[in-house]
Copies of this chain bind each other. A is one copy, B any other.
Amino acid sequence: MSTKSIVELSCPPPLPAKETVLLGHGSGGKLSADLLRDVFLPFLRNPVLARLDDQAVVAISGQRVAMTTDSFVVKPLFFPGGDIGSLAVHGTVNDLAMGGAVPLFLSAAFILEEGLAVDPLKRVVHSMQQAADAAGVQVVTGDTKVVEKGKGDGLFITTTGIGVVPEDVELSADRAQPGDKVILSGSIGEHGIAILAQREGLEFETTIKSDSAPLHTLVAAMLRASGEIRCMRDPTRGGVSSTLNEIAQQSRVCIELEEWTIPVREEVRGACELLGLDPLYVANEGKLVAIVAPEAADSILQAMRKHPLGKEASVIGTVQEERSRSGRVMMRTTLGTRRIVDMLAGDQLPRIC
């Protein structure tokens, strides 16, 4: 990890006046949280939304139904390991899965820019269908709008998903407790670096592929292994650091990571050093972090490692009883120091999903 980028990220640059929307408001980091707190929550306040999980869980005729939505504005539309279509399916399937829900049905709304070629659009729709088939979900309803040339950017897709939450499952970002273990399902940073490399025309010895994948069967295996999972999140925009900061804040605990336990592929580490990025802040689209009871960690890890998407699962930290650091993420570094891992401050990588 490059020290330079860590320093930059810990000291947010002076921001312009907040009266207008900045690119960083879409980063998944601190500015996104500000926007949510200042603009959305004051008006849309209700108990379900206020939980700030990646999915809402509501009761319909006594059945707990999870609902989640995401707009995808990734640029470019096609990248190594996926495209906006497969990403839109995986992202929404994963947000349902993180609440322990079994994903069932998706909607897909397309905002097309006038002049978009129909051929790539067909490829994207085809890719969505393949991803939906592979994940065992159905795209049951949709919408298409067209905006004038120069008022959009090719193609934006908003997918919304619904699924059912099994009776005994209760996952939420406010349930982490001192002593809990932090599990990460595999190596980090691949999606963000794949997009960035494609966008900037960077070439590395090995092509870095997005890790975009549906995580619901991995989650199902974990839930079968133990009832002691507190919460799960997929560290997308803002990366592992922002995700863990959100959990630490919502559970009012301190999370301590051990740097040497966090898997980063060699080529991703190299690309990050070259670009001055910290992999902890780079988006993933096929990884999850789970906070689990300490006694359950081993059996959950075993179950994960039997799954193709959890082979490299490991414990990367613990939840601490440290009042003065409540709501914080700390890191024991390979150098033996201890530092704060803050939320992403600015707009490290816009339009990554």
Residues of chain B within 8 A (CB-CB) of A125 are: 39-40, 43-44
Interface residues in A140-156 by Cβ distance below 8 A to B read 140-148, 150-153, 156
CB within 8 A of A26: which of B24, B49, B65, B146? B146
Selected contact of A143 from candidates B48, B70, B111, CB within 8 Å: B70
Per-residue interface assignment for chain A, residues 272 to 299, with 1 indicating a CB less than 8 Å from any chain B CB and 0 otherwise: 0000000000000000000000000000
Q: Could you tell me if B142 and A44 are in contact, using CB atoms closer than 8 angstroms?
A: yes
A244 at interface, CB cutoff 8 A: no
CA distance A40 to B122 in the complex (A): 7
Chain A interface size, under 10 / 10 to 19 / 20 to 34 / 35 or more:
35 or more
| Contact, CB under 8 Å: B61 / A164 | yes
Copies of this protein chain in the complex: 2
Complex CA gap A267/B312 in Å reads: 68
Partner of A148 from B56, B63, B132, B350 at Cβ < 8 Å: B350
Check A202 for interface membership: any CB of B closer than 8 A.
no
Give bound CA distance, A18 to B23, whole Å: 34
Looking at A113-121, A174-182, A254-262, the stretch in contact with chain B turns out to be: A113-121
Interface-side segment among A6-14, A100-108, A215-223, A321-329:
A100-108
Binding site for B on A (CB under 8 A): 18-26, 32, 35-36, 38-40, 43-44, 46, 48-49, 55-56, 58, 60-63, 65, 67-73, 104-105, 107-119, 121-122, 125-126, 128-129, 132, 138-148, 150-153, 156, 158, 160, 162, 164, 350-351
- 24 residue pairs of the A-B complex, CB under 8 angstroms, read A20-B114, A20-B115, A20-B116, A20-B117, A21-B114, A21-B118, A26-B145, A32-B144, A36-B144, A39-B125, A40-B144, A44-B108, A44-B128, A58-B105, A58-B138, A60-B60, A60-B104, A61-B164, A69-B142, A71-B144, A111-B156, A143-B158, A152-B152, A158-B160
